[in-house]
Amino acid sequence: MIYEVFRQERKGQPFQHAGSVEAPDHAFADVYAREQYGRRGESQALWVVPREAIIEIDEFVDELNRNYHRVDGYSLKDKLRRARERVGSALVARDS
């Protein structure tokens, strides 16, 4: 059975995928995951998850292209740049 291993490098940090181990059961997965990803001080904690337990989603339907539902639908970058330019030129005008 394949187990996916996620590791946390420091307390409070998000867990990130580290790799996987193949093991006949949870007890073996525990020992092999420690061996490969934990015991040299490189991890604060590990999540060891049977691959079948992971719900993988890789198809996303967006027929109507409703990108305003997504956080990246409102790009603030340009607005911010324009705002900074306005303020910048106002400051230049004030100081001169």
Partner 1 sequence: MNESEAHSLLAIADDELILGWRDSEWTGIAPLLEEDVAFSSIAQNEIGHARALYELLARERGITADELAFDRSPEEYRCSRLVELRLLDWEKTVARQYLYEQADAKRLEQLMQSDDPELAGLAAKIDREEAYHRMHAQMWFERLKDEPRFTAALEELRPLLDADRDEHSPELSELWDEMTMVRRSQPAGTAW
* E strand map for 15-94: 16-22, 45-50
Residue 9 sits in the site that holds partner 1 (CB under 8 A):
no
| Minimum distance of partner 1 from residue 28's CB (angstroms) | 6
- Which residue of 18, 23, 46, 48 would you call a contact of partner 1, by CB under 8 A? 23
Residue 41 sits in the site that holds partner 1 (CB under 8 A):
no
Residues from 57 through 96 that contact partner 1 (CB under 8 A): none
